[in-house]
Amino acid sequence: MAASCVITSPEEEHTPKLDLVTPLVFNPSMLNLQATIPNQFIWPDDEKPCLEAPELDVPLIDLQNFLAHSHSTLDASRLISEACYKHGFFLVVNHVISEQLISDAHEYMSRFFDMPLSEKQRIQRKAGESCGYASSFTGRFSTKLPWKETLSFQFCDDKSRPKNVQDYFCDALGHEFEPFGKVYQEYCEAMSSLSLKIMELLGINLGVSGDYFKSFFEENDSIMRLNYYPPCQKPDLTFGTGPHCDPTSLTILHQDHVHGLQVFVDNQWRSISPNPKAFVVNIGDTFMALSNNRYKSCLHRAVVNSKSERKSLAFFLCPKKDRVVKPPRELLDGNTPRRYPDFTWSMLLEFTQKHYRADMNTLQAFTDWLSNKPIQ
């Protein structure tokens, strides 16, 4: 697809539409009874999806030796470095995350999205917030809506709040949801641990201490998201998730068996096939700033289909909210000046939740916004 297919929307389309009198309710069981889909979900002709995309050759990184503290990390390091310089996507296998834990996380995700809409709306995501249940973000935007439901919640690697995910489910939905909370507490802890191991490799690749980025992301304030993409009767008109770069630092995604993830590489959309034994890892905007633009936050999207539902588990690694994001000295010299100003994750999160709809230009737009908003 030509690059013109991913040109960003006009500025007014980035501003959240928080003044809708009667927001559209995204209820797939009702919407699928209609011959077509509401106009709010239909994308412009020059941005519509290509449902069949050629496969992206994503490097497969075997973490077994690295996680066993072996010195045989050169191959993994080289493959990750090549991917991060080009498009920021790679797969990890032999990650020691329990298959049963992954299966349980998918099972409880299915149970949640199978609940009646009124039950899910008990933890409706509020305007300007990043956590809670969202039915296509209908309360925030009024055009180019995604054909999906999500449940997002915060994970804090904070010893003073050791069960923050479990507490969230119990406090928001009641103690009968404690099993949900236990599974996702364990899953987030595993994802946080895996993220820090990957950060060690990224630090080595960039020529800084292996502990530098690992230490930076300890006590992380991360986000876990459950994604549900229902079947859509007009999949050629809409997206499950529109083209965007993740504003976070690192994303660890586990897909079910249904295709849908696409990445924009070499001026073309490419697909990444599901692999039940692998996690898809990609660089986000915050780490692109940490690496002083050396590693790329790549444009990606999710397409839907008319026959099968699709689900995925996404862990978004984020630094502690008050930690200042700036590249280490080793990544700065006379030939590579600073590309982005200092900022904190809380500032970028505020920008994406209240002022801007994430796309391929989020980090530059945020940099422009920062010029009038100094760090407090």
| DSSP one-letter code for 208 | S
The pLDDT-based confidence of 161 (bands split at 50, 70, 90) is confident
For residue 16, pLDDT beyond 60:
no
Active site residues: 310
| DSSP one-letter code for 52 | S
For residue 115, pLDDT beyond 70:
yes
For residue 7, pLDDT beyond 50:
no
pLDDT of residue 12: 38
Of 146, 141, 181, residue with least CA distance to 15: 141
pLDDT of residue 71: 56
Mean pLDDT for the chain overall: 88
pLDDT of residue 45: 93
pLDDT of residue 369: 93
User: What is the average pLDDT across 102-128?
Assistant: 94
For residue 4, pLDDT beyond 90:
no
pLDDT of residue 64: 82
Domains of the chain in start order, with CATH, are: 41-370 (2.60.120.330)
Whose tokens are 């034994």? That residue is 277
Whether residue 299 contacts residue 363, with contact meaning beta carbons closer than 8 Å, is answered with no
- Distance from C-alpha of 101 to C-alpha of 223, rounded to nearest angstrom: 18
**Torsion from C-alpha of 24, 28, 33, 34, nearest 10 degrees:** 40
User: What is the average pLDDT across 56-79?
Assistant: 76
Whether residue 158 contacts residue 185, with contact meaning beta carbons closer than 8 Å, is answered with no
76-85, 177-186, 254-263: range with lowest mean pLDDT: 76-85
Query: Which of residues 159 and 177 earns the better pLDDT score?
Result: 177
Portion of the chain with pLDDT greater than 70, in percent: 90
- Cα separations in angstroms, 27 against 52, 73, 82, 106, 233: 27, 48, 42, 21, 14
pLDDT of residue 209: 82
pLDDT of residue 23: 62
Whether residue 120 contacts residue 329, with contact meaning beta carbons closer than 8 Å, is answered with no
For residue 14, pLDDT beyond 60:
no
The pLDDT-based confidence of 103 (bands split at 50, 70, 90) is very high
Query: Which of residues 12 and 192 earns the better pLDDT score?
Result: 192
Query: Which of residues 347 and 335 earns the better pLDDT score?
Result: 347
pLDDT digits (tens, 9 = 90+) for 282-320: 999 999 999 999 999 999 999 999 999 999 999 999 999
pLDDT digits (tens, 9 = 90+) for 119-155: 999 999 988 788 999 998 777 788 999 999 999 999 9
pLDDT of residue 152: 97
Q: Provide the phi-psi class of 153: left if phi over 0, else alpha when psi is between -120 and 50, else beta.
A: beta
The reply to whether the predicted model has a pTM over 0.85 is yes
pLDDT of residue 70: 55
17-31, 194-208, 323-337: range with lowest mean pLDDT: 17-31
Whether residue 320 contacts residue 215, with contact meaning beta carbons closer than 8 Å, is answered with no
What is the widest separation between alpha-carbon atoms in the chain? 61
For residue 17, pLDDT beyond 50:
no
pLDDT of residue 72: 57
pLDDT of residue 335: 82
pLDDT digits (tens, 9 = 90+) for 340-353: 999 999 999 999 99
pLDDT of residue 295: 94
